[in-house]
Amino acid sequence: MKKTFFIAGGDLRQIYAAEKLSEFFSVCITGFDKNISIPDTLRSEESIPLCAAPSDYLLLPTPVSSDDVMLNAPFSQNGISISKLVSTVKKDGIVFGGKISKNVKKIFTAEGIEVIDYLDREEFSVLNAVPTAEGAIQLALEEMPATIYGSKILITGFGRISKILVKLLTAMGADVTVAARKYSDLAWAEIFGCKSISISRIEEHGEKYDIVYNTVPSVILGKSFLEKLNTDCLMIDLASRPGGIDFKAASELGIKVVWALGLPGKSAPVTSGRIIADTIKNILAERGAI
């Protein structure tokens, strides 16, 4: 008999995760009673009534909650209280979710239920960098009056997102420079077809870029750097708070900055949902549970 997976709250990603998990599990989904168009393939899943018995697994969204009390469930009419979810999962079951706070975690572990944050999985972050990079390309295509082909692009940092951006942008014929700290990252950037500069010397750097992508989550692109850019340079900040660009200085200089957060969920919810499902399958496979 198939194990059961209860899926609660979240946005479109959660629906697509449910769709993918339904290949392996008997899936039951809740929190989508407000006006939302759901893909055909899941319509049947939706009609499943709330599982009578507790499930083997429970999937919560990213982030699980903003106040540690109510579930993040924008498509639920009446809202879902997290404490009510405890009884929907077996004592030896597992709760999965993203950005789970200590308090929320305690609600389940107090009952002996294991809690796993899939954001801690490296393969999740790797796979999620693909929709982020594609979303970053889309932004450039939408905002630039010129082609990416032939444009001069600076990317700061050389983590997961940068590596995929480098792959896409060099294939599109851009002239890409990577600014990074470690010599080995500079070496990799060159091997993958870019120029490279030390991030410590970025302010000395007088190149005129058409696009600057930042992936470093600390303000490294300050006024003296921004002043060297053309005012029609497009800046796209992909880093989480506080971002890497001195927004105030950019604004004063008339340079357009797009701060792009949460791209995977926005630009490719299908893929993002599938990545959540794949990561959970990996976790369960490691434990011999599937």
Binding mask 156-185 for a second copy (x = CB under 8 A): --------x--xx--xxx--------xxx-
Segment interacting with a second copy, rule: CB under 8 A, options 75-83, 98-106, 108-116, 143-151: 143-151
Best CA proximity match to 253, nearest among 201, 215, 212, 196: 212
CB of 227 to a second copy, least distance (A): 16
Nearest CB to a second copy, comparing residues 4 and 272: 272
| 207 lines the binding site for a second copy (CB under 8 A) | no
* Residues in region 70-109 near a second copy by CB under 8 A: none
Burial of 23 (0-12, 13-18, 19+ CB in 10 A): exposed
Segment interacting with a second copy, rule: CB under 8 A, options 43-51, 56-64, 127-135, 242-250: 127-135
Strands annotated E in the chain: 4-8, 26-30, 55-59, 89-97, 114-117, 152-156, 175-180, 195-198, 211-214, 234-237, 256-259
How many CB atoms neighbour CB 39 within 10 A? Answer: 11
Among 35, 191, 206, 288, binds a second copy (CB under 8 A): 191
Cα Rg of the chain, angstroms: 22
Cα gap 272→276, rounded to integer Å: 6
Per CB under 8 A, residues contacting a second copy are 12, 39-40, 121-123, 125-127, 130-131, 134-135, 137-138, 141-142, 144-150, 164, 167-168, 171-173, 182-184, 186-188, 191-193, 231-232, 267-271, 282
